Structures are given as C-alpha cells and as structure tokens.
Structure 1
Amino acid sequence: MSQQHPDQPARPDPHPDDRPDGQLREQADELTYRSHYQDRVLDLTPVARPHASGLFRRVIAQGGYETRTTLSNGEQLLVSIILPLMVLIALSVTDFIVAEGATVSPVNLATPGVLALAVLSSGLTGQGIATGFDRRYGVLRYLSTTPLGPTGLLLGKAVAVVLVLIVQLMVLGLAALFLEWRPVAVGVLYAGIFIVLGAVTFTALGLLIAGTVRPEATLAITNLLWVILGAAGGVVFAVPENLFGELLQFLPSAALGEGLRSATVRGQFDLLSFVILVVWAAIFTGCTVRWFKWR
C-alpha cells in the first residue's frame, strides 16, 4: 500500500453522505419517513384524461350554456320572443299594414318582417348585450385562456345564436300558421338563406359594438337600433317607394326584410338584397376582427 508523502497536502475528507455509513443512514431515514408518512403524502402527479372533450364538444357546451342563459333572462326573452309575437298578432288581426294586393293577407305581409325582427333580437341585442357585460366582468378574458380558447368562445356564441333563433322561428312560425300564414313553398328555402345571412350580419354588428364601447353604451345602442331599424329600417314595414326608400334599401335591416318578403310573399330570390347583406356581413366581420377588445 502506497503511503502519502510528508510534503503532499492531505486529501479532504469525503462528504458524509458519500461514505458507505452515510448512505446507510440516508436509506434508513427514508424508510422511516415512508413508514410513518407515506399515507399522508399529497400526490400532485397530473393524470391524463383519456376522454378529454374536443373543441366540438366544448363549443356545443358553451353554446348550450349561453342559450339557457339567454332564454332564462326576462329582458332577453321579452325582446327575442314576446315583443315579436305581439307585433305579429297586432299586424295580423288589423289592417294597419297595407297589403300589396287583394290576394295578400296582412299576416302574409307581417310574418316575414317579424322573422327579420327576431333575427335582430338574437344577433344584435342578445349577443351584443351579453358579450358587453361578459367583457366588463372579465369573463371573455378568462374563457379565452381556457381550453375553449378565443375561437371556441366565438363559435359557442354562434351556436347560441342559432339555437335561440330556432326557438324563435318555431314559436313565431307556429303562431303565424295558426293565424293562417301561407308562404310560397319555394320561398321558404330562400327565406332560410336570408335568415342565416342576416344572423351572421347582425351578430357581427352586435359583437362589434360590444367589443368597442362600454357595456352601458352597448345596452343603449343595441336596444335603440332594434327599435329604429325594426320600425323605420325596412324590417317590419316595406321601404317606401320614393327617394328615401331608394337609399333605405341599402341598409342591412332593409335588405333582410325585403329579402324575406320577396321570398315568402312572391316566391322570388331578391339578388340585390342578398348582395347588400353579404357586403354588410363582410364589413361588420372585418371590423369586429380588427377592433374587438377582449377587456
């Protein structure tokens, strides 16, 4: 065995834990700890979810939640179903609305305008007001950071608009049929196209307003637009045949109302109204993408 030279510096002692006896003590301590505290240790190991919901299921769940919230809100229920139903009944049993001819009944003229009014209710006021207050209380920002994400959140709102609109069309359509509404058969398909396009247009407008101004202003603006456009914007009543009416027909509300009247009353597809709605839908959607603020 070699001996250390007297002038050579002494080697430092190894760390106690590196010695064999130190290892034995460490193992003994670990066994003692496990025997006493193993049942008390909190397991924080993440567990994989084999059946995690995909984007589609999350969107449907969010859309269903927003639909239930809308239909359980008294104010939204009033604007979405009760007021349009009252307008339908009032115009159908009176001669206030002027018929286009002797063969056209008031209910046949009133129903397409009321359906257009329902589209404004679900897209403009419904989603506009709900989104405005969700934005104020930070709900939008919170949900955008969840697995739902911003895209899923917007898709969920679109699903909610569709579901609410289906309920509106069922209630108003059955009421109109009870009042002897008789639309042109081929016009029902054309009307469906205008309803979908109108929902896209006014939902985009509602989100644009909700994402750029305060919720109190959103509440006032959307309700005011609903009243003005419904009464004088070519929705419930046809645009007048004068210069003012020629300008009014380029509004998205007038395009929706005229498109539905042409479809259900005359069985015609109003191409001009369709193009006007497409242009407004593109404008509102582009502005929403550009200026919408999540908080």
Structure 2
Amino acid sequence: MTRSLDLSPAPGSASLAAQVMAQARMEFRLILRNGEQLLLALVIPVIVLVGGVAAADRVGLDFDRPVIDVLAPGVLALAVMSTAFTSVAIATGFERRYGLIKRLGTSPLPRHGLLLGKAGAVLLVELLQILVLGAVAALLGWEPEASGWPAAVLVLLLGTTAFTSLGLLIAGTLRAEATLAAANLVYLLLLAGGAVVVPADSYGAFADVAAWLPSGALGEGMRAALIDGRLDGGCVLILLGWSVVGATATARTFTWE
C-alpha cells in the first residue's frame, strides 16, 4: 500500500523572531564590511581612550580616581553612541535613498521588526567593541568594579535602545545627505559637550543640562556602574524616557522611502 504525499503549497511568512534574527545577521555583516562604520565603532573610541590617558596631564583632566578608570566607562558609552546612533542613522538614510528600505517595506517584516533587527546588529557590534576596548583599557591599567557589570549591561542596553531609535528617527524623516550631516554634527556635539566621555560635573554650569541628555545619562550610568559598582536609577529613568520618545516618534514618522 503506497502512501500519498501532500504536495500542496503552504505559503506563509516566517515568525517575527526569525525575521528579526535574519535582519540582525544581515545588518551585522554590512557593518563589518563598511570601513567608515568600523572607524566610528572601533578606531575613534580607541584613539579617544589612548589619547585621553596620554594627554590627561597636558589638557588638565583632574579626577579623584585614576584617569583610565574614569575614561574607560565613558569610552564604552561613546562606542555605543557611535554604533547605535551615528552608524545606524547614516546607513539607514542611504538605504532609504537607494530603495532598500522600500523593498523591505513590501516584505512581512514590520517597522518594529526593522527596529529590532537593527538593534540586534548593534548589540553584536557592541559586544565586539567591549572586547576590544576592554582589552586596550586593561593594558592601560583599567580595573573596573566587577560587581558593577550587571548594572553596566543594563545601562548599555537602555542606551542602545535610546540611540538606535533616535538614529532611526533622523534617518526616517530626513534625506540621506541631511541625515549624514545631522548625525555627524550631533555626534561631535555630544562627544564635546554631552558628558559621555568625562563626568557631567566637568562642564560647570552646563552640567545639569548635560546629565539630562541621552549621552550624559549613558556616560554617568556607566561610570556609576564600573567605578562605584552601583546602578544609577536616575540615569536609567532618563534613558528609558529617551527610548520611549525615540521609539514612539520613529514608529509614527518613519517612512520607507
């Protein structure tokens, strides 16, 4: 007795989790192949870390802790900002220009799936950044507070969510050239005055404003975790607020072309 085979088609899309994982893998490979994004992700943070430690005495950086212990958490925060905000914004802006995002819009992948996929790719790059920057910092004498790593991971995740959503907000509403200019300008402004690499109290009268910026909250949260071994609840709430605002605005305004 022969058994008949059911060869009728069974169309259907993959699960959301499978779509997000596939999108994350693709985004991760694209980042690794892009020299400019690798420059933002690894080269610039390494230069800031090594240069900051070497030039601390000359530029008047005076902390109550070793310079490397203060700068290393801030440079990790800078790496998150480089990847989650600037790289995501620029890459997505030009993907919209070349029609790639429009084609994704015809697939079953929803807008929040695109956001999750890009965030997943960013997390993979950040893991690489932590390994490289952590090794460089250790060679320079960094001794982070081991008990603070769980808090640091939470702050990094919140910072990633906030900056990824803000990067997509810019990329989803501006033309590619405007996105390129805006993302680089915001990056430089936050690097110089956003309390990401050095503590907010180093900015004098601007300290209170800097602490409320996503860069300031991320930097202060990382320093609290890896220097003092504690979770800064205020920084967590600020990053949560920026995440909600950025994700909500992106979901409402992001256009596929």
- Mark yes or no: TM-score above 0.5: yes
Query: Residue type of the partner of 1:127?
Result: V
Confirm or deny: 8 A CA contact 2:13 2:108 kept in the other structure.
no
Residue in structure 2 matching 1:138, options 81, 99, 114: 99
| Segment drifting more, 267-276 vs 73-82 | 267-276
Confirm or deny: 8 A CA contact 1:144 1:153 kept in the other structure.
no
The offset of 1:98, in angstroms, is: 2.9
Residue in structure 1 matching 2:224, options 255, 262, 274: 262
Q: TM-score, normalised by structure 2?
A: 0.89
Query: Residue type of the partner of 1:272?
Result: G
Match of 1:162 in 2: 123
Match of 2:113 in 1: 152
Deviation string for 1:136-194 (max 9, x for gaps)? 12211211212434343332212111111111111111111122210111111111111
The offset of 1:216, in angstroms, is: 0.4
Match of 1:17 in 2: none
Match of 2:181 in 1: 220
Confirm or deny: 8 A CA contact 1:118 1:168 kept in the other structure.
yes
Match of 1:293 in 2: 255
Confirm or deny: 8 A CA contact 2:111 2:251 kept in the other structure.
no
Distance 2:70 2:109 in 1: 43
Confirm or deny: 8 A CA contact 2:162 2:243 kept in the other structure.
yes
Residue in structure 1 matching 2:234, options 236, 251, 272: 272
Matched, 1:84 2:50: no
Distance 2:12 2:247 in 1: 35
- For structure 2, which runs of at least 5 residues remain unmatched after alignment? 1-6
Distance 1:178 1:92 in 2: 12
Residue in structure 2 matching 1:207, options 168, 176, 179: 168
Distance 1:274 1:148 in 2: 30
Deviation string for 1:15-56 (max 9, x for gaps)? xxxxxxxxxxxxxxxxxxxxxxxxxxxxxxx96379985433
The offset of 1:244, in angstroms, is: 1.8
Aligned-residue sequence identity (percent) comes to 43
- For structure 1, which runs of at least 5 residues remain unmatched after alignment? 1-45
Q: What are the equivalent positions in structure 2 for 1:15-34 lying under 5 Å apart? A: none
Query: Residue type of the partner of 1:100?
Result: F
Larger Rg: 1
Q: Which has the higher helix share?
A: 2
Q: TM-score, normalised by structure 1?
A: 0.78
RCO comparison, higher one (Cα < 8 Å, 6+): 2
Structure 1 runs of 4+ with >4 Å offset: 49-53
Match of 2:61 in 1: 98
Distance 2:10 2:184 in 1: 44
How many pairs were matched up?
248
